Amino acid sequence: FNMGMEMKTALDKFYECFENPEKDDVFFDYEGLRYQLSCCGYIFTERTEDCEDEQEYGFDEHGKELAEAILDSIVNQNRDKTIREILAELPPEAIWLG
């Protein structure tokens, strides 16, 4: 019986991972793009089918502010959803750590 907080979405898992000093990156795939969210302040995206067309986005924030800046970014192909909105749609098992 688990009384702890249960992860409902990939967003919950993102926060847990981002606060873990032993992990550097969070990865997930969404609508044909692979995302790498880096704890050192970058987002990388590339097309999943051919691993081409990589984009890189950098941030100056650190810690909690960095996590929020990454989550508020709109870097999907249609430029219509934030990372936060995407992760809120995905199950926790949709993301993995690097």
**Residues 49-75 pLDDT 10s:** 887 788 999 999 988 999 999 999 999
Q: Does residue 21 carry a pLDDT above 80?
A: no
25-30 β-sheet, strand order:
55-58, 42-47, 33-38, 25-30, 95-97
Q: Does residue 1 carry a pLDDT above 70?
A: no
Residue type, 90: L
DSSP summary character for residue 45 = E
Tens of pLDDT, residue by residue over 3-13, are: 455 778 999 99
Measure the CA–CA gap between 98 and 83, rounded to whole angstroms: 18
